[in-house]
Amino acid sequence: MGVKIGCPVPVQDRLVTLRATIASIQDQKDVEVVPLVITDNQKVLDWCEKSAVKYLVHENILADKWNAGFKFFKDSVDFVLFSGSDDLYYQGYCREMVSYMLKNSIEAAGIEQYYFLDIGDDGYKRMAFWSGYKNERRGETVGAGRMLSYKALDAISWAPFNTGSMRYMDSQMTSSLATAGINIVSSGLSLPAMGVTCPAWKSKRKFENIVKECPLIPWYRIDRVLSDYFPEVFLLDIEGHIKENDRTSHGK
């Protein structure tokens, strides 16, 4: 396809999902996608060294980490994929999103639908499917999976976020682009993407709140969805993470 995509991924202590996220990014078909981990966590840095994954060392201020990651790719990529350290994408995601954007001359686009996977302390899986906003935000994209062109990023100096911020990254990106006259367009494409919740995270997504607004997927369909769209999820070392957390909680 001849397109190069950068993907900055800030992370602090989510090494348990980072491995799967990076694999999901690297496994994209027909386009080159380069992940960049931004962190000051030594365990994560050691993993990056061992896995030959590019990284930046940066203090744990989320907006600043992300801005540094975006600026790292300036003048070297055609697009940037916006992704957290717990997001997964099916293998044709970037190819199809970029094709849509090029065909329609769109500089920023995303998806409205999104899967959520929760894995409990015992390894039990629950999954929900978000079909899009139904209120005044109808038609707005989710944050994960947004694709921005280099032209869109040039318009905001490759810095979508407010310096020093730790929250509301999605809305800050939307506002920054809007000031440059660029709207994030809903592609209308059914491109599977998924966020993962694992045990004992300090910043664990509140899955119980999620399922108040979107239906659970029957348990017997979950592994099929994962194997069809998100095979990288099986790289998650959930059992090892549980054991490590158990040792920590008991002071051992």
Q: What confidence score (pLDDT) does residue 208 get?
A: 77
Exposed / middle / buried, residue 20 (Cβ in 10 Å: 0-12, 13-18, 19+): buried
Q: What is the 3-class SS of 156-199, one letter each residue?
A: CCCCCCCCCCCCCHHHHHHHHHHHCCCCCEECCCCCCEEEEECC
Name the residue ranges covered by the structural domains of the chain. 4-249
Reduced to 3 states (helix: H, G, I; strand: E, B; else coil), residue 19 is helix
| Integer-rounded Cα radius of gyration of the chain | 18
Whole-Å CA distances, 180 to 64, 154, 233, 248: 20, 10, 37, 47
pLDDT at position 76 is 96
Task: Please state which architecture CATH assigns to domain 4-249.
Answer: Alpha-Beta Complex (3.90)
What pLDDT score was predicted for residue 202? 44
User: What is the chain's pLDDT, residue by residue, as a tens digit (252 residues)?
Assistant: 789 999 999 998 888 889 999 999 999 999 999 999 999 999 999 999 999 999 999 998 999 999 999 999 999 999 999 999 999 999 999 999 999 999 999 999 999 999 999 887 677 888 999 988 878 888 889 999 999 999 999 999 999 999 998 888 999 999 999 999 999 999 999 899 999 876 555 445 577 777 888 889 999 999 999 999 999 888 776 555 444 443 333 222
Three-state DSSP at 101 gives helix
